[in-house]
Amino acid sequence: MSTVFALVDCNNFYVSCERLFRPALNLRPVVVLSNNDGCIIARSNEAKSHGLVMGAPYFKQKALLRRHGVQVFSSNYALYGDLSNRVMATLQQMEPDVEIYSIDEAFIRLPTQGDRTFFQQGRRIKKTVDQCVGIPVSVGIGQTKTLAKLAATVAKKENCHKGVFHFKDDGQRDEVLAGVPVQKVWGIGSRSCKKLNRHGVYTALDLQQSDNRWIRKFMGLSCARTVLELRGQPCISLEATPSSRKSIVSSRSFRQPVTELADLKESVSCYISIAAGKLRKQGLVAANLHVFLATSRFRTDIPHCSDSRMIALSQPTSSTPLLIKAGIQELTSLYKKGVPYNKAGIMLTGLSRANRQQRNLFLPAESREDSQLMAALDQINERWGRDTLRYGSSGLTRAWSMKQSRKSPAYTTCWAELPVVH
């Protein structure tokens, strides 16, 4: 066996983050809500047992939540992002080949030689993350990334494996695949699933045993790779370096409809500041800025309105003030007086490396002073928390900001909200 992959998956990640600093919530039902406390986006196992489903609107579930004593939290992305970084840093200290796949998942290439079995390596990973961060994880181990994904699902759902599952042989692998619906296979979308079902493919085992020529002809190369992965032939390599982003989006729904241009300017300035910080952190500059506004899709008393504009910047940049100036200009031309906007946002496209950008011959390069100012701004906000320093155009009170009535403290990223031990 030349290559073995492990997928480390944080269990009910948002819920686990909320429980980390409140141990009294262990074994109690807990849910986390989406932006503006709209829908349920994370559930503890105890909450799942009460019939609470993913994506259910919060206002429709209030009676059920009260009846079962479910603890409800607003999304706390600062906390979740920081704890995710700690989990990933712990994994990278343990193994050299780590691919961060999402906020709560990472692939690892396991060494095939050594004193430990693969199961023992998985147990070591699980124990180390629990000791260093306190977030429970499940570890799935397989010959390919697709099999590791499926193994992690088995490790999470079947308690007998104690959070670690490894496909020991082909017989065990096929037994598991026979019980997995084809739509649950990594890389198989809803359209592909319908096409496979019409051809009599309903489980992961059916897909694994499909005819190669038919798969390549009617399903494409991506599905053909998935079939080979299910057979234990690695086709999807580990990406230790994340691929360059094509765009950066920053947007939020408002806690209540916004009709005033001044409030919209504040929100767009705030979103641009967030996106520009992400640009600089990744060493990128943007060539285009998109601004968009929208009313609620669920209101029937007014016509739905959704407008957007794009401006091509004269010079690719990551400078917050330059982007804010361009964004406010586009917002002013988009704005319609009296329209109750429910959402605003911006998107940066045409991204390129800051140290490799094509300069405009007829414009001066961005001043060194502005670059130094942006670096100082980022360092202060990184050290003391987002918005410690911010541009006045992004507002102070921010009455338009999204609703987070049940948000927990920023236990790890704000000095004023550090947990106190008595």
Domain boundaries, the chain: 4-10+80-230, 13-75, 247-394
CATH class of the region 4-10+80-230: alpha beta
Whether domain 13-75 has CATH 3.40.50.80: no
Which residue would you say has higher pLDDT here, 388 or 323? 323
Fold of the domain spanning 247-394: Dna Ligase; domain 1 (3.30.1490)
Indicate the pLDDT class of residue 422, thresholds 50, 70 and 90.
confident
Indicate the pLDDT class of residue 240, thresholds 50, 70 and 90.
low
263-275 pLDDT tens trace: 999 999 999 999 9
Question: What is the average pLDDT across 62-84?
Answer: 93
Average pLDDT taken over every residue of the chain: 90
117 to 110, 114, 146, 295: CA distances (angstroms): 10, 8, 20, 56
Q: What is the token pair recorded at 13? A: 């990640």
What is the pLDDT, as a whole number, of residue 299?
81
What is the pLDDT, as a whole number, of residue 241?
63
Rounded Cα–Cα distance for residues 118 and 122 (Å): 6
Burial of 414 (0-12, 13-18, 19+ CB in 10 A): middle
pLDDT for 229 beyond 60: yes
Indicate the pLDDT class of residue 370, thresholds 50, 70 and 90.
confident
The H or E element containing residue 250 is strand 247-258
Whether pTM > 0.85 for this model: the answer is: no
Q: What is the token pair recorded at 68? A: 């079962």
152 to 7, 137, 140, 280, 297: CA distances (angstroms): 6, 9, 4, 35, 37
Decide whether 4-10+80-230 matches 247-394 in CATH topology.
no
pLDDT for 369 beyond 60: no
Do residues 28 and 7 touch, judged by C-beta distance below 8 A? Answer: no
Judging by DSSP bridges, how do beta strands 30-33 and 4-10 pair with one another? unpaired
